[in-house]
Structure 1
């Protein structure tokens, strides 16, 4: 069944409000791992982006997601993105330091291959690590990248498209996962928003909660209202175009995988 070398650990950084389908798949993986001696799965819940965003309006807690707001000239701008680094990359990096290598804070980690499941049809999502110890490794592309800006081939990688991965899962009677992302992520197409509203109403309600919580971001120096949808319209009022299937941005290759 194995087509790649076996990783030492699988780490999932839970931001607090992933899609219900993602949590269901996580439960399946945890059960499968126990029954089949799979890769140890670590679930990190150190930080909760959903709760932090809800309370930011109350106490000015500094959290920034790439939401939309109107510029003074009427054009639509996007806020600075901190969530990927703070709630994904930093959490997994800290776990590697604290629990895998058992190093004190401030210690230098040894070079470590961090695998990410980006496929050939989204190769542009490869990224260079911001820390020298990380080696961003892409088994489904056959490449790794380094802090020095190197992009090198790995001879054990197996280039696969997303459809190839789906086909492999089906052939092995395994369920097909959805893309992992916060339910309120602004990097979402209209088609994805419409699907969420129709088929995952609880997830959509949580997104509406965040959309309303971030509206007044004046404590961050943002003068105009802030929205999750690019139209700068309250999410619960948007008429989504199901034909619009292109996401509005890129999360640096650490989410939506």
Structure 2
């Protein structure tokens, strides 16, 4: 959407906002820097980076209130479970809403007057039109330009490729439990330092978050990053599913979403990002850009 706006195919955006959890892969930060340098700045679109802290550090800090990640739990009786997901709201949605209030000139706790709002563009494609929702606050009104254009995820990939951004990485915490096996493999095989980081974190949260333990409320079971409920460096991440093989045969030139192909949670960790690939797509000429 930023590139479409910068190139005049969508109206010029006033701002782009990136919610930083403090624990993104290095490739994401490098990509964001390049996107700002080559696309946003020449078009005069400021990129605002907002943050509520470093989610990794907060989880391991006994003095810090931690918004729980959706960790996989193995209970003492052997039954599986999951912890509640609070991290998206705390580390992504709230910082964005706080920034929007500031841009409108009504920082919290001021009341935003009725009728004062921003139009927020949400990057949901036609593959997942059912996820297009209204904002949960009245000072933000959601619009879905990719759906308006009739663009699928593959259209987005092809357009980015035409601009030299074919290697656009997925934004998600480095140690997000919603990763699929393909993403865990990619971290292990391409970034040894980040792999050591997530393996160490996985071991560190085995008994839950540090503040709960310090407060005398330890996790009764064990917590894991991988859905197998095994230590990450022992988890069966080398298994390639039939769905992944079929997707590679169907469209080998398009990046494959590991969560969707390897049974990760469809909604993932983001409230707004594109997630799926259509089973069948119409033939398109060019990019179907709207003036």
TM-score clears 0.5: yes
The aligned residue for residue 220 of structure 2 is 223
Report if aligned partners of 2:122, 2:273 keep a CA contact under 8 Å in 1. no
The aligned residue for residue 131 of structure 1 is 137
Over residues 169-216 of structure 1, what are the superposed CA-to-partner deviations in whole Å (9 max), with x where a residue is unaligned?
A: 222334441111001000111121112111122222222232122111
Larger Rg: 2
CA distance in 2, matches of 1:214, 1:167: 39
2:171 is equivalent to residue 180 of structure 1? yes
CA distance in 2, matches of 1:127, 1:243: 33
CA distance in 2, matches of 1:255, 1:209: 29
Q: 1:31–1:104: structure 2 CA closer, same or farther, 3 Å change rule? A: closer
101, 107, 110: which one pairs with 1:107?
110
Instruction: Give unpaired runs (5+ residues) of structure 2.
Output: 1-6, 242-260, 275-291
| 3-state SS of 1:81 partner | coil
2:252 is equivalent to residue 248 of structure 1? no
| 3-state SS of 2:124 partner | coil
Report if aligned partners of 1:125, 1:252 keep a CA contact under 8 Å in 2. no
Deviation at 1:50, TM superposition (A): 1.7
Report if aligned partners of 1:216, 1:226 keep a CA contact under 8 Å in 2. yes
Q: 1:230–1:183: structure 2 CA closer, same or farther, 3 Å change rule? A: same
Q: 1:137–1:176: structure 2 CA closer, same or farther, 3 Å change rule? A: farther
Deviation at 1:61, TM superposition (A): 3.2
Report if aligned partners of 2:67, 2:90 keep a CA contact under 8 Å in 1. no
The aligned residue for residue 36 of structure 2 is 30
CA distance in 2, matches of 1:35, 1:16: 23
CA distance in 2, matches of 1:170, 1:197: 25
Report if aligned partners of 1:125, 1:253 keep a CA contact under 8 Å in 2. no
Structure 1-normalised TM-score? 0.83
Instruction: Give unpaired runs (5+ residues) of structure 1.
Output: 142-156
Structure 1 residue ranges (4+ consecutive) displaced by more than 4 angstroms after TM superposition = none
CA distance in 2, matches of 1:128, 1:223: 38
Q: 1:133–1:168: structure 2 CA closer, same or farther, 3 Å change rule? A: same
Over residues 30-55 of structure 1, what are the superposed CA-to-partner deviations in whole Å (9 max), with x where a residue is unaligned?
A: 21146522421111234211211122
204, 220, 232: which one pairs with 2:229?
232
Structure 2-normalised TM-score? 0.74
| 3-state SS of 1:140 partner | helix
The aligned residue for residue 251 of structure 2 is none
CA distance in 1, matches of 2:91, 2:40: 27
CA distance in 1, matches of 2:218, 2:131: 31
